[in-house]
Copies of this chain bind each other. A is one copy, B any other.
Amino acid sequence: MAKAPILTPRAEDFPRWYQDVLNKAQLAESGPVRGTMVIRPYAYAIWERMVEEVDRRIKAAGAENAYFPLFIPQSYLTREAEHVEGFSPELAVVTVAGGKELDEPVVVRPTSETVIGEYMAKWIQSYRDLPLLLNQWANVVRWELRPRTFLRTTEFLWQEGHCAHATEADGHAYAARILHDVYRDFMVEVLGIPVLIGVKPPEERFAGATNTMACEAMMGDGKALQMGTSHELGQNFATAFDITYQDESGEQQLCWTTSWGVSTRMMGGLIMAHGDDRGLRVPPRLAALQVVVLVVKDDDGTVTEAARRLHDELAGAGVRARIDDRVGTPFGRRATDWELKGVPLRIEVGPRDLADGMVTLVRRDSAEKSVVGLDEVVGTVPALLEVIQSALHDEALALRESRTVECATVEEAAAAATEGFARVPWAMLDPAALERLGRDALTVRCVQTPDGGLPERLDDADNVAVVARAY
Contacts and interface: CB of A to CB of B under 8 A. Distances in A.
A45 B63 CA distance: 12
A115 interface: yes
Contacts of A443: none
A71 interface: yes
Nearest to A30: B69
A35 to B, nearest CB: 9
A70 interface: yes
A134 B41 contact: yes
A169 interface: no
B143 A97 contact: yes
A105 interface: yes
A44 to B, nearest CB: 5
Nearest to A55: B48
A89 to B, nearest CB: 5
Contact of A64 (B29, B36, B45, B97): B45
A324 interface: no
A16 B73 CA distance: 28
B99 A69 contact: no
Contacts of A106: 33
Interface in A82-101: 88-99
A37 B69 contact: yes
Given A31-B71, A32-B73, A32-B118, A66 B94 contact: no
A109 to B, nearest CB: 10
A471 interface: no
A352 to B, nearest CB: 28
A138 B138 CA distance: 9
Given A33-B73, A106-B33, A99 B89 contact: yes
A108 B145 CA distance: 20
A33 B118 CA distance: 12
Interface string A59-84: 00000111111111100100000000
Contacts of A33: 69, 71-73, 106
Contacts of A48: 65
Interface string A121-161: 01000000000001000110101010000000011010000
B32 A76 contact: yes
A122 B23 CA distance: 13
A32 to B, nearest CB: 5
B89 A108 contact: no
Contact of A96 (B47, B65, B95, B139): B95
A467 interface: no
Contacts of A69: 31-33, 36-38, 155
A295 interface: no
B154 A71 contact: yes
Interface string A335-367: 000000000000000000000000000000000
Contacts of A37: 69
Contact of A71 (B45, B73, B95, B155): B155
A91 B95 CA distance: 11
B115 A31 contact: yes
Contact of A89 (B91, B98, B139): B98
A40 interface: yes
A39 interface: yes
Contact of A70 (B36, B64, B115): B36
B92 A97 contact: yes
Contacts of A115: 31-32
Contacts of A98: 89-92, 143, 145
B31 A44 contact: no
B94 A31 contact: no
A-B CB proximity, top 10 nearest: A98-B143, A36-B69, A41-B64, A31-B69, A39-B67, A92-B97, A33-B71, A93-B96, A97-B143, A95-B95
Given A37-B69, A41-B65, A44-B67, 15 more contacts: A31-B68, A31-B71, A32-B69, A32-B73, A32-B76, A32-B115, A40-B66, A44-B66, A48-B65, A67-B157, A91-B98, A92-B94, A92-B96, A94-B108, A95-B96
22 contacts: A29-B122, A31-B69, A32-B115, A33-B69, A33-B106, A36-B69, A36-B71, A38-B66, A38-B119, A40-B66, A41-B64, A45-B65, A71-B92, A71-B155, A89-B98, A91-B96, A91-B99, A92-B97, A94-B95, A95-B96, A98-B145, A138-B139
